[in-house]
Amino acid sequence: MSAPSFRPLYDQIKILITQSLIAGEWRPGEAIPSEMELASHFGVSQGTVRKAVDELAGENILVRKQGKGTFVATHDEEHTQLRFLRIHADSGEKEYPRSEVVDCRRDKVAPELARALELRPGAPVYVVKRRLIFSGKPLVFDEIVLSAPLFKGLSAPRLNEFKGSFYSFFEIHYGLRMIRAEERLTAVAAAEEAAQHLDVPLGTPLLCVDRIAFTYGDKPVEWRRGLCHTAGHSYYNELA
């Protein structure tokens, strides 16, 4: 495997490590070789490898564990389970919402979503609708679109039986780890379907969060629209 040219050496190593992750050489939760071993494998200095690993750790792709080594990050660890959940209680209390899938069906991708997910027009997709329930109250109604070939055999019972986040489910059952997401926020009024599932009157103000989530190599995997009733809750994002 030849390193890409016209890039700093540490960035070339970063790309090569990412390619190994895409190929499944190291699975989520597994340790990667030591910096010394990687330096020998790639024929570079240990300092170059360390800089590449530092950047991947900063992007939540790898995680360093003191005295144990460097591991492929996973959605199954407690400190990462809420990384992509931005609806927080105004009280500051940490909440783990319950997911309740109300529909999961095959369909053809809409033209605007085909572009976003890099699919051909009319490609088969799964459309999943679910509620997130916080302390007994439904606060988020999601519509999620996924490429059918990537998620063979997906069903509402399988999703509802799983005790964990959707992204943990994707990782464990399909080998797809979500690395980052892009979101757009708007304000909308609750239409009939959302009002029914969120148990609010028609026209209730809702926060609409459109998301595209990406796996390794910046490949888009999921489009999601979350309609959020923010009574007692807020969309929280920390900017560094």
Provide the residue ranges of all domains of the chain, joining segments of one domain with +: 9-72, 84-235
pLDDT beyond 70 at 26 = yes
pTM tops 0.75: yes
Let me know: does 143 contact 151? Beta carbons within 8 Å. Answer: no
Residue labelled with tokens 């699975």: 27
140 sits in which H/E element? strand 137-147
111 sits in which H/E element? helix 111-117
Per-residue model confidence as pLDDT tens digits over 43-72: 999 999 999 999 888 888 888 888 888 988
Fold of 9-72: Arc Repressor Mutant, subunit A (1.10.10)
Angle of CA points 78, 90, 58, to nearest 5°: 40
Let me know: does 171 contact 74? Beta carbons within 8 Å. Answer: yes
pLDDT beyond 90 at 107 = yes
- Report the half-sphere exposure of 123 (CA within 13 A, side-chain side): 18
Lowest mean pLDDT among 138-147, 173-182, 230-239: 230-239
Reading the block at residue 23, the tokens are: 């190929």
Q: Please give the pLDDT value at position 80.
A: 57
Per-residue model confidence as pLDDT tens digits over 220-239: 999 999 999 998 899 888 76
Q: What is the CATH number of domain 84-235?
A: 3.40.1410.10
Q: Left (φ > 0), alpha (ψ -120 to 50) or beta: where does 168 sit? A: alpha
